[in-house]
A and B are shown apart, each in its own frame.
Chain A
Amino acid sequence: MEIDELLYEWKDQTILSASERMEIRLAASSSDLTESSRWWKSVISMAGKALVDANRINRACLFSV
């Protein structure tokens, strides 16, 4: 196996996944909030993500009919 391939594999296994990035972004951008505000922010963010996912699924269903 070439060194480039190994380095690519190393990168693939090391960089942050989408969910890790979201988790870090959320935690960092809540660092100046009180605990209850932090909780509300995470609820709103998760609800927003669920809406986006639901919309994507809905569209996928429509196109598959």
Chain B
Amino acid sequence: MSVDLGRKDREFNVLFEKNQKAILAFFIGHGLVREDAKDLVQETFSKTWLHMGDLTCHPEERQRRWIFRVAANLLADFFRRKRIPPAPNLEHEADPTADVHEHVERSDKGLALERAVQLLPAERRLILSLTVLGEMTSEEIGVQLGKPAGTVRYELNQARQFLSKKMREWTEAL
């Protein structure tokens, strides 16, 4: 049994399911907490809904690029509203890992990993997030970020090495 939602709804649902993971990953990759990221996903797709008529006649790649552009504008508005600088890069700041040892000690490695992800340089964090959460290939990420796929793969590899090293350091420090 299925409920007929109408053509616009059906096309929107397809577009939503194809892009929601990538858009959530985009916001998380820019350092937003999950709840804020979720709100911005909703705003992104509200705007998408309003432009469905123009969007459906374009190929998938162009639709995705358009959705990413909307997401980037909403993100800039978000940072402006909150008056915080975009994409904070914590790598070289003074002891941003204050409670990390506690997380590792409590065997809560998931939380420690999230802290380690926040320590990555901004672009590396975004690439990791788009790959892991957004399930995007290095080619797809390259298109969105305007970088060769090889560079994306290199950055991803560096991110994974950094995370492994951090997790090992924190575990050994106990």
- Which A residues are within 8 Å of any B CB, using their own CB? 1, 3, 6-7, 9-11, 13-16, 20-21, 24-25, 27-29, 31-32, 45, 48-49, 51-52, 55
Contacts and interface: CB of A to CB of B under 8 A. Distances in A.
A30 B44 CA distance: 13
21 contacts: A1-B109, A6-B113, A7-B113, A9-B113, A10-B113, A11-B132, A13-B110, A14-B34, A15-B133, A20-B38, A21-B17, A21-B20, A24-B42, A24-B45, A28-B16, A29-B9, A31-B50, A45-B3, A49-B3, A51-B1, A55-B1
A24 B12 contact: no
Interface stretch (B57-65, B90-98, B136-144, B159-167): B159-167
Contacts of A28: 12, 16, 42, 45-46, 48-49
A48 B46 contact: no
Q: Is the interface of B mostly helix, strand, loop or mixed?
A: helix
A55 to B, nearest CB: 5
Query: Which of the four size classes fits the interface of chain B?
Result: 20 to 34
Interface of B: 1-3, 9, 12-13, 16-17, 20-21, 24, 28, 34, 38, 41-42, 45-46, 48-50, 109-110, 113-114, 117, 132-133, 160, 163-164, 167
